[in-house]
């Protein structure tokens, strides 16, 4: 036995046909007026405006710590940054890098990074690379794979201390990595150099 899909006959007229009140409403996002039944609570004209409305609700207005410019950021990104211990907010990477060069930054070392390298160091760089076999002493990548010459790093971060024991070859990636957590890397490389001197002394 077949079930009747509709409860209404073919020529049935709904009881509320023609009684609905149509309202002309401006969209909350773009301001374009659109038609809707009065009984509906719709306030947005399209799916595009609906997506923009959701994004706007999720955004929070912040002030850049460096340039004091107003900018917007998603709540989820602010939450994840705060959970990882980041308290200051910056509008761009450019502002963040400029702030790192100011005395307010925890990474500030009295402007020592701006000091020029000595002539002696420029001569010793190639000697150190040759001694280390043209390989990064941290990740062991050879100089040929770096597509540029290896950087020569001062273990104690003092540009004037050009003793061979204080110099080590690193690739660009490792050299930038060891600029953070300096106490750890100072101990690590000093231990590494002591072991290298012992093994060379035995030979």
Q: Write down the pLDDT at residue 96.
A: 80
Helix spans in the chain (H): 47-58, 75-83, 93-100, 119-131, 143-146, 172-177, 182-202
**R_g of the chain computed on alpha carbons:** 33
Question: How would you write the pLDDT of the chain (203 residues) with one tens digit per residue?
Answer: 455 555 666 677 666 665 666 778 888 888 888 888 777 778 888 888 887 777 777 778 888 888 888 888 877 777 766 665 566 778 888 888 777 777 666 566 565 666 778 889 889 999 999 999 999 999 999 999 988 899 999 998 888 899 999 999 999 999 988 887 888 999 999 998 888 877 776 55
Q: Write down the pLDDT at residue 35.
A: 81
Contact present, 97 and 64 (Cβ < 8 Å): no
What is d(CA 119, CA 117) in angstroms, rounded to the nearest whole number? 7
What is d(CA 119, CA 125) in angstroms, rounded to the nearest whole number? 10
């Amino acid at each position: 036995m077949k079930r009747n899909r509709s409860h209404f006959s073919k020529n049935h007229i709904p009881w509320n046909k023609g009684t609905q009140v149509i309202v002309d409403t401006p969209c909350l996002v773009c301001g374009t007026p659109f038609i809707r039944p009065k009984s509906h609570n719709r306030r947005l004209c399209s799916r595009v405006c609906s997506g923009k409305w959701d994004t706007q609700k999720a955004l929070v207005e912040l002030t850049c710590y460096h340039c004091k410019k107003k900018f917007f950021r998603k709540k989820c990104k602010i939450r994840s940054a705060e959970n990882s211990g980041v308290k200051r907010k910056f509008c761009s990477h450019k502002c963040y890098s400029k702030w790192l060069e100011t005395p307010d930054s925890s990474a500030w070392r009295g402007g020592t990074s701006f000091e020029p390298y000595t002539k002696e160091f420029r001569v010793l760089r190639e000697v150190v690379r040759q001694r280390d076999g043209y390989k990064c002493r941290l990740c062991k990548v050879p100089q040929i794979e770096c597509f540029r010459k290896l950087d020569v790093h001062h273990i104690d971060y003092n540009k004037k201390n050009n003793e061979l024991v204080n110099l080590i070859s690193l690739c660009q990636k490792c050299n930038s990595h060891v600029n953070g957590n300096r106490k750890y890397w100072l101990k690590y490389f000093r231990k590494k150099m002591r072991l290298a001197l012992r093994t060379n002394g035995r030979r």
